[in-house]
Structure 1
Amino acid sequence: MCKVTELKQAVLARNDRGAQELREELAARGTVMVNLLSSPGSGKTALLEAELGLARLRGVPVAALTADLATENDATRLARSGAPVRQVLTDGLCHLESEMVRSHVDAWLPEGTHLLFVENVGNLVCPASYDLGESLRVVLASVTEGEDKPLKYPTAFGLAHLVVVTKYDIAEAVGFDEPAFLAAVAQVNPGVEVIRTSSRDGEGAGVLLERALAVHAGAAVHRPVMARTAVEHGHAHGHTHTHTHAAGHAAGHTHAAGHTH
């Protein structure tokens, strides 16, 4: 086995240990982490802002971490929801790791938080391999990205507990072939739920929040075939967990509603 492969496996193994420890600690606190993955421009910030706003209206204690290579733009947007928001600056790193999330959870996450949404770096390659300690992994794809996206990024879509189609209001205009997309998803992740959303017209509003709350209440998540196969071969990265809940180079900044720079 070459040194590069050994190093990668060691890095992932260390990350997975940290992720499992964080998952257990969050469970003890009654907190469910939701990891959002997508390519840049998919609309995950707009979707998350809307879901955070709905959670606040319903009295659900929520918080959000949002990751970016260089700017705090997304945190400023998300803070408009009124939810506690923390920016993670990765200094060029293309993904989050469990240790980076832990540092913010330990120092900042408000007590009593039921749901912690993590907006990962816009990238469907590197983030797919890193378990953050989440209990719900959500992969988003906009209707403008092409029906074969799940086949091009099988690890990201293959390990998802939930798939979200965004910008559905323009699906017809851009010629989105929904049956082809659903077939591609089913090929890499049979049985995973796919939901439609549109931040513009409100389609699917609150569905992500409801799915996260269901997990918080003890509902089991979808178990991807890819994750089960990885376990059988002894090289899983922590994506097969189900939980029941009672209710290093990241720079962080806390944002409040209405905060500007």
Structure 2
Amino acid sequence: MCTVCGCGEGHVHVQSHEQDHHHGDDGTRHLHFGQGEAGTSVPGMSQTRIIQVEADILGKNNAYAAKNRTHLAERGVLALNLVSSPGAGKTTLLVETLKALSGKVPAAVIEGDQQTRNDADRIRETGVPAVQINTGKGCHLDAHMVGHGIEKLGPEQGSILFIENVGNLVCPAAFDLGEAFTVVILSVTEGEDKPLKYPDIFATADVMILNKTDLLPHLDFDVPEAIANARKVNRRIKVLEVSARTGEGLSDWLRWLEGARAMQMAGAAAPRAAE
């Protein structure tokens, strides 16, 4: 049981196609506990014990993440952790990305969701192999789940592995999956202050994709303000403006992927393992 997010373990199902916070200098992620923070209150457990349990959970997770990262790096596989709130357009963006990469770059997908295999089915329609991980009550993927997904997929040498996390801007920030880069998707139908409300995930991310830009003429969304807010919590974050529906800006995202993949294949990616 995760004492911060309250998600339970023991409800995880990995389905294959056949089966129908912040990074430290050691490459790990750390949670920040506030004094008297409501989210860290567990009946019958002291604050000290809660922190110890969380440290144990994250320590175990980070060990699995390191194993995943080494395994992927040895094969030149670029792994990306895609995170967003529900409805930001992750799956649609991923489908359009896979269509654009078809015949050029091998790819595979790990889909995370609490229930259903709908997203994995959508991915497989593109011809790309995918496994669905259903987390039950869990609100995020962890490195152990992803490791099982990697085993089932066996991504090709030099491929891109997209990990679509459960829709959530809170808990995924604390769990390193072994990815080379984290990509956070923020849609223009959300508020410009999302990076300030959920700073850990934006501080963790390497790239922010501002999605659904085709809707901007119909909204009062301030793009410069959203970008400025993201850079208040992460000065190094790269921002890409994309419409998955019209394809606007998709070429910039594909160019970034090409560069990141080249870095991974040359052994220069996975900065978290080196820092």
Same fold (TM over 0.5): yes
2:16: which partner in 1? none
- Which string of whole-angstrom CA distances, capped at 9 and with x for unpartnered residues, describes residues 114-166 of structure 1? 10000000000011110000001000100011000000000000111000000
**1:39 aligned partner, one-letter code:** S
- Verify: 1:172 aligned to 2:217, yes or no: yes
Query: Residue 78 of structure 1: which of 123, 126, 129 is its match?
Result: 123
Q: TM-score, length-normalised on structure 1?
A: 0.82
Question: Is the CA contact (8 Å cut-off) linking 2:206 and 2:236 kept in structure 1?
Answer: no
- Cα deviation for residue 20 of structure 1 reads 1.1
Q: Percent identity?
A: 40
Aligned residue for 1:118, secondary structure, equals: strand
Structure 2: runs of 5 or more not aligned: 1-46
Query: Residue 214 of structure 1: which of 259, 268, 274 is its match?
Result: 259
2:197: which partner in 1? 152
- Verify: 1:240 aligned to 2:272, yes or no: yes
Query: Residue 54 of structure 1: which of 95, 100, 111 is its match?
Result: 100
Question: Is the CA contact (8 Å cut-off) linking 1:148 and 1:181 kept in structure 2?
Answer: yes
Greater alpha carbon shift after TM alignment, 145-154 vs 11-20:
11-20
Question: Is the CA contact (8 Å cut-off) linking 1:51 and 1:206 kept in structure 2?
Answer: no
Aligned residue for 1:64, secondary structure, equals: strand
1:133: which partner in 2? 178
CA pair 22-107 structure 1, distance change in 2 beyond 3 A: same
Aligned residue for 1:217, secondary structure, equals: helix
The 5 A counterparts of 1:47-126 are: 47-57=93-103, 59-112=104-157, 114-126=159-171
- Verify: 1:10 aligned to 2:10, yes or no: no
Question: Is the CA contact (8 Å cut-off) linking 2:77 and 2:155 kept in structure 1?
Answer: no
Cα distance in 2 between the residues matched to 1:142 and 1:86? 25
**2:187 aligned partner, one-letter code:** S
Q: TM-score, length-normalised on structure 2?
A: 0.78
- Which string of whole-angstrom CA distances, capped at 9 and with x for unpartnered residues, describes residues 58-106 of structure 1? x201011111101111111111211111111112210000000001212
Aligned CA RMSD, in angstroms, stands at 1.8
Cα distance in 1 between the residues matched to 2:256 and 2:234? 18
Query: Residue 182 of structure 1: which of 211, 216, 227 is its match?
Result: 227
Moved over 4 A (4+): none
- Cα deviation for residue 28 of structure 1 reads 0.5
The size of the alignment, in residue pairs, is: 226
Aligned residue for 1:81, secondary structure, equals: coil
1:202: which partner in 2? 247
Greater alpha carbon shift after TM alignment, 30-39 vs 106-115:
106-115
Cα distance in 2 between the residues matched to 1:160 and 1:22? 19
